[in-house]
Amino acid sequence: MRKNGLTAPLNALQVLTWFLFPFFIIGYTVLSFLPQISVPSSLPTTGPVWDAQNYILGSLVYLFSLLGIYCGGQACSIDPIDNHLQTHLLTNPNGRSKGGPGKTFCWVCQVHVSSSSKHCRFCEKCVHEFDHHCQWLNTCVGGKNYRPFFHCVCAVFAFTSLELVATAVLLARFYVDGEDGGVRVRIVELYGGDTGATVFAGFALAFAAALLVTVGMIAQLFFFHVNLQRRGITTYQYVVEDAKRCQEEGRKKKEREKTRKEEEKRRKEMGQRQVCVVCWVGGERGGGTGNGGERVDNGGAERYNSDASNSYENGVELTEMIVRDDDMKEAEI
């Protein structure tokens, strides 16, 4: 049974998260913050408004990134275990648990737990007000740690978005600014000449691309949880509802397909019967309804109608020939 996100075994995404936090903070400092606040020796002064903007932006980035680390750490370190299971393990680990209203029995834990709790196969325990198992933090998110988890998502969304804006502005100024003491002059002096500036621009572009992907993913997660909170449901309940909706849609689709096939079969049978009737009329009785009487909008049936018409005509021709023969015999008699 895993206690929290720091309990072994660790997973790859969790380690990647630990790497990404410092990567984005150090990357922003080196590629965006320092170049924009550095004062080149060749310039007597820098624009006070421009520097103030960078200091405010930088302060917000560092504030939100530290907030993200703090909240993420809290979400990881809290044990989201079900309260009944926790009490059972502390007071009566070998005994039998008592059921009651609002409780359900977990066959894996062999303990009565809250109805809102669900058993997590990664953590191997029942989780209080289960939401989901977060692979990035490698811990279950439930009633006890949902708040720090969501605050962590908000903080990461905020600081990565600000970093993306700052890096995009820096790159725009780097390529647009002339030699009048703008960003390019600062970068050339800070990173060792034009070659250093070109390498810097390449890293800054790669950093902006990584930020763009991260902001896209975290924005999706942020708006998903905002929507869940608006609806007052958990991720688990959303997944269950979505699975039921998909199942219902699949059932309706199958029904529609079945009805369509039955209708097609019925129309085909009716079309074939119609052809037979026409063929029969044309072949045996001649005249009558003829071919023009009833047409079906079935290609095959229409073809048979056409054949029936020929038979009819042939039939008439044959009848006339027989009559002529009879006339001939009568004449001979």
d(CA 259, CA 264): 8
| Amino acid of residue 3 | K
Q: State which residue, 32 or 138, has the beta carbon closest to Zn ion.
A: 138
Q: State which residue, 106 or 201, has the beta carbon closest to Zn ion.
A: 106
| Least distance CB 191 / Zn ion (angstroms) | 45
d(CA 37, CA 55): 8
Cis amide bond preceding 93, omega within 30: no
In the three-class reduction of DSSP (H, G, I as helix; E, B as strand; rest coil), residue 113 is classed as strand
Residues binding Zn ion (CB under 5 A)? 106, 108-109, 119-120, 122-123, 126, 133, 140
| Least distance CB 50 / Zn ion (angstroms) | 48
Q: State which residue, 84 or 184, has the beta carbon closest to Zn ion.
A: 84
| Least distance CB 1 / Zn ion (angstroms) | 9
Q: State which residue, 120 or 201, has the beta carbon closest to Zn ion.
A: 120
The string of DSSP codes covering 233-295 is --HHHHHHHHHHHHHHHHHHHHHHHHHHHHHHHHHHHHHHHHHHHHHHIIIII-STTTTTS--
d(CA 248, CA 150): 31
| Least distance CB 221 / Zn ion (angstroms) | 17
| Least distance CB 15 / Zn ion (angstroms) | 17
| Least distance CB 127 / Zn ion (angstroms) | 6
Burial status of residue 227 (CB atoms within 10 A of its CB: 0-12, 13-18, 19 or more) = exposed
Q: State which residue, 119 or 173, has the beta carbon closest to Zn ion.
A: 119
Q: State which residue, 25 or 120, has the beta carbon closest to Zn ion.
A: 120
Contact 172, 24 (CB under 8 A): no
In the three-class reduction of DSSP (H, G, I as helix; E, B as strand; rest coil), residue 178 is classed as coil
